[in-house]
């Protein structure tokens, strides 16, 4: 079985974590446990959705990012900006200002991620048409969703469309454009301003390809604060005019909810929010839904506008992008550097390998052993309280039972079981205090009561 | 031979909101047992059809499932109108569903034929005005299929 390490962009700071249970409760794949008073991540289950990041009361959930100075390893420094980055800024700041400040910060070229969507939309629509035997087809746009399907819905991995996404396509395009203009391949660094952790994980450990075309990531909150500070500090300054993008309205809206579904042919549905997606996929597993052609699934509410690293309110971000799409004059002018002229080159890079399942649900590889374990889980469930309090350090009674059967914890960590044993006289207060300290650390029980 | 694991679910006729619950629960169990995805799909599709049959036609029903390391055996036992002509009901497209049920997207006459296509062993016993017992077995390991 493939047990290779899965790279995660999220990690918990042991120093900052206060050992509450907020993250453990919201994790959609039950990838978090509390041990020794600190949250721990189970790497095989985590899908980098970042729900833990949203709820942590003390900012102990961190998202890795590359050192900004990494950009200077390259002569040509391209920054790939997603539409939602522009959508972070208030209305009095325009696209040209943002572009110029990015250049001032050290980049040599600015390219919008959604440029890649200009090409992808027809490639994807054709792919869906050509694969009529698979319905519905599911977009691979959101890396958290791809990982969710791998770990929780392994039977649906063959529904995922094995095509690269606008980000990668834009990366290939930016590099090829510079090469055409005389640059060497290894002189070019492409950096992506990311709204979420899942995209970072997708770049650092891509699914269905060996290495990403993206050379580094910059978190959107970091970039937003840098750019906004410069703009606010130089109010009177005239920014050199940068070229306006000539994205089509469809591409501008690509990363928002219905961005893909409204462009695909046939019957399409768009679903955002991880719990909505899980509910739908449960149903999709049970029923034949061959009358749906395409599913756009996004982990975040309001899709990328709601990315965990964004600063602006997601509804305002959406509104700004929708307004921008409305203001586009069509048809946009195309010049020799237009991405459409690179279609033939890019078409060699569209496909990714088959995405493989990596189920986290199985209790054992062998059905017979799994069945024995499940019987034990069911026996344990009969004595557990169904309170899902999390005091045992596992998110639910069910997960405590499963963790126990996997020998990763002990049933006596349940405070209800402890009380039951105490009543029977087979368990002492000292023992229960010892167990509580193992789960929650010394501090929480070491307090003075007046 | 190991003692099979037993699961039981109750069904209420006419409650389409709950139709699919049992199949969904059975699916969760099979995923934990590391049964391969294609086999799970066959089991879930056929048990879902049988479940909907009870909800659409009968007054009440009980589902029993037994799982061991080789197979799953499912019994769908309902109190209801029964099937007068089982052979006819096995034909694709033949349906006795009421217009109201069809309006809800069910009753296309594919229930029993769909089950037959997905299971390894199928047995149907029915008594008119009393009820129907649909029993089927699906092997859990690919070499059994």
Do A329 and A308 sit in the same domain of this protein?
yes
B32 HSE (CA, 13 A, CB side): 22
Tell me how close the Cα of A362 comes to any Cα of chain B, in angstroms.
4
Do A73 and A50 sit in the same domain of this protein?
no
pLDDT at A7: 81
List Cβ neighbours of A348 (8 Å cut-off, separation of 6 or more). none
Residue A358 resides in a domain: no
Residue A1 resides in a domain: no
Structure tokens at A132: 């009529």
Residue pair A268/A219 in contact by the 8 Å Cβ criterion? no
Do A373 and A437 sit in the same domain of this protein?
yes
Mark which of A315, A349, A383 sits at the end of a domain. Answer: A349
Do A82 and A30 sit in the same domain of this protein?
no
Helix (H) / strand (E) containing A32: strand A32-35
Backbone angles phi, psi at A189, to 5 degrees: -115, 130
Residue A77 resides in a domain: yes
First to last CA, chain B: 19
DSSP A394: S
Tell me the pLDDT band of B145, cut-offs 50, 70 and 90: very low
**Among A183, A185, A227, A189, which Cα is nearest to A87's?**
A227
**Among A37, A31, A83, which Cα is nearest to A53's?**
A31
Do A149 and A29 sit in the same domain of this protein?
no
The architecture (CATH level 2) of B5-139 comes to 2-Layer Sandwich (3.30)
Do A305 and A237 sit in the same domain of this protein?
yes
Residue pair A110/A97 in contact by the 8 Å Cβ criterion? no
Query: Residue A408 belongs to what domain range?
Result: 367-445
Do A158 and A37 sit in the same domain of this protein?
no
pLDDT tens string B46-55? 999 999 999 9
Tell me the pLDDT band of B84, cut-offs 50, 70 and 90: confident
Spell out the domain ranges in chain B: 5-139
pLDDT tens string A301-358? 999 999 999 999 999 999 999 999 999 876 667 788 889 999 999 988 888 988 888 8
pLDDT tens string A394-414? 999 999 999 999 999 999 999
Q: Between chains, do A287 and B48 touch, taking CB under 8 Å as contact?
A: yes
pLDDT at B89: 82
Residue B77 clears pLDDT 80, i.e. is over it: yes
Residue B142 clears pLDDT 90, i.e. is over it: no
- For B140, which residue in chain A has the nearest alpha carbon? A367
- For B28, which residue in chain A has the nearest alpha carbon? A361
User: Counting Cβ atoms within 10 Å, is residue A379 exposed (0-12), middle (13-18) or buried (19+)?
Assistant: exposed
Do A104 and A132 sit in the same domain of this protein?
yes
Do A266 and A287 sit in the same domain of this protein?
yes
**Among A156, A161, A142, A151, which Cα is nearest to A201's?**
A142
Report the domain count for chain A.
3
pLDDT at B90: 83
Give the CA-trace dihedral at A310, A312, A316, A321, to 10 degrees.
-50
pLDDT at A353: 87
The list of chain A residues with pLDDT below 50 reads 1-4
pLDDT tens string A138-160? 999 999 999 999 999 998 999 99
- Cα A337 to Cα A344: distance, rounded to the nearest angstrom: 13
Task: Name the residue among B24, B33, B41 with its Cβ closest to that of A371.
Answer: B33
Q: Between chains, do A155 and B67 touch, taking CB under 8 Å as contact?
A: no
pLDDT at B100: 78
Tell me how close the Cα of B75 comes to any Cα of chain A, in angstroms.
18
Residue A50 resides in a domain: yes
- Cα A110 to Cα A107: distance, rounded to the nearest angstrom: 7
pLDDT at B2: 75
**Among A346, A319, A341, A433, which Cα is nearest to A165's?**
A346
Global pTM reads: 0.91
Q: Between chains, do B34 and A155 touch, taking CB under 8 Å as contact?
A: no
Residue A360 resides in a domain: no
Q: Order of strands across the sheet with A188-194?
A: A109-112, A76-81, A188-194, A216-219
Helix (H) / strand (E) containing A268: strand A268-272
Do A167 and A271 sit in the same domain of this protein?
yes
Question: What's the ipTM?
Answer: 0.82
Do A54 and A81 sit in the same domain of this protein?
no
Do A309 and A425 sit in the same domain of this protein?
no
């Amino acid at each position: 079985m493939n047990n290779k390490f899965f790279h995660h962009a999220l990690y918990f700071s042991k120093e900052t974590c206060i050992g509450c249970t907020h993250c453990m409760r919201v994790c959609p794949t039950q990838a978090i446990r509390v041990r020794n008073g600190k949250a721990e991540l189970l790497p095989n289950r985590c899908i980098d959705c970042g729900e833990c990041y949203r709820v942590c009361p003390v900012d102990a959930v961190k998202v890795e990012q590359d050192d900004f100075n990494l950009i200077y390893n390259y002569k040509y420094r391209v920054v790939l900006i997603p539409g939602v980055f522009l959508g972070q800024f208030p209305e009095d700041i325009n696209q040209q200002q943002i572009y110029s400040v990015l250049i001032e910060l050290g980049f040599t070229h600015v390219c919008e991620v959604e440029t890649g969507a200009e090409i992808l939309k027809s490639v994807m629509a054709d792919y869906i048409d050509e694969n009529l035997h698979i319905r519905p087809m599911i977009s691979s746009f959101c890396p958290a969703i791809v990982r969710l399907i791998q770990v929780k819905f392994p039977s649906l991995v063959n529904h995922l469309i094995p095509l690269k996404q606008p980000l990668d396509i834009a990366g290939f395009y930016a590099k090829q454009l510079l090469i055409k203009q005389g640059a060497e391949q290894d002189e070019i660094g492409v950096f992506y301003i990311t709204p979420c952790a899942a995209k970072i994980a997708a770049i650092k450990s891509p699914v269905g390809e060996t290495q990403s075309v993206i050379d580094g990531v910059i978190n959107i909150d970091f970039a937003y604060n840098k750019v906004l500070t410069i703009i606010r500090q130089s109010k009177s300054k005239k920014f050199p005019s940068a070229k306006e993008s000539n994205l089509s309205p469809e591409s501008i809206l690509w990363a928002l909810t219905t961005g893909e579904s409204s462009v695909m042919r046939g019957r399409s549905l768009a679903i955002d929010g991880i719990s909505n997606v899980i509910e739908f996929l449960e149903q999709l597993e049970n029923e034949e839904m061959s009358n749906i052609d395409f599913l756009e699934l996004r982990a975040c509410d309001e899709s990328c506008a709601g990315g965990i690293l964004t600063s602006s309110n997601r509804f305002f971000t959406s509104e700004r992008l929708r307004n921008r799409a409305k203001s586009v004059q069509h048809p946009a002018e195309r010049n020799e550097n237009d991405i459409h002229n690179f279609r033939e080159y890019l078409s060699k890079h569209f496909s990714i390998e088959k995405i493989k399942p990596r189920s986290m649900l199985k209790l054992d590889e062998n059905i017979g052993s799994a069945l024995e374990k499940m019987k034990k889980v069911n026996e344990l469930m009969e004595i557990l309280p169904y309170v899902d309090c999390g005091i045992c350090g596992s998110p639910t009674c069910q997960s405590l039972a499963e963790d126990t059967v996997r020998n990763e914890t002990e049933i006596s960590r349940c405070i209800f079981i402890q009380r039951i044993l105490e009543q029977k006289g087979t368990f002492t207060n000292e023992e229960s205090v010892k167990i509580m300290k193992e789960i929650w650390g010394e501090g929480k029980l070491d307090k003075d009561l007046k | 031979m190991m003692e099979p694991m037993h699961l039981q679910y109750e069904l209420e006729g006419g409650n389409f909101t709950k139709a699919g619950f049992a199949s969904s629960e059975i699916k969760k169990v099979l995923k934990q047992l590391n049964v391969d995805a294609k086999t799970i799909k066959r089991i879930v599709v056929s048990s879902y059809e049988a479940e909907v049959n009870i909800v659409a036609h009968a007054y009440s029903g009980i589902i029993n499932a037994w799982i061991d390391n080789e197979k799953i055996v499912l019994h769908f036992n309902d109190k209801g109108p029964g099937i007068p002509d089982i052979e006819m009901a096995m034909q694709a497209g033949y349906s006795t569903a009421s217009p109201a049920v069809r309006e809800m997207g069910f009753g296309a006459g594919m229930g029993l034929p769909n089950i037959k296509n997905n299971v390894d062993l199928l047995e149907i016993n029915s008594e008119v005005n009393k009820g129907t017992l649909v029993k089927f077995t699906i092997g859990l390991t690919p070499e059994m299929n």
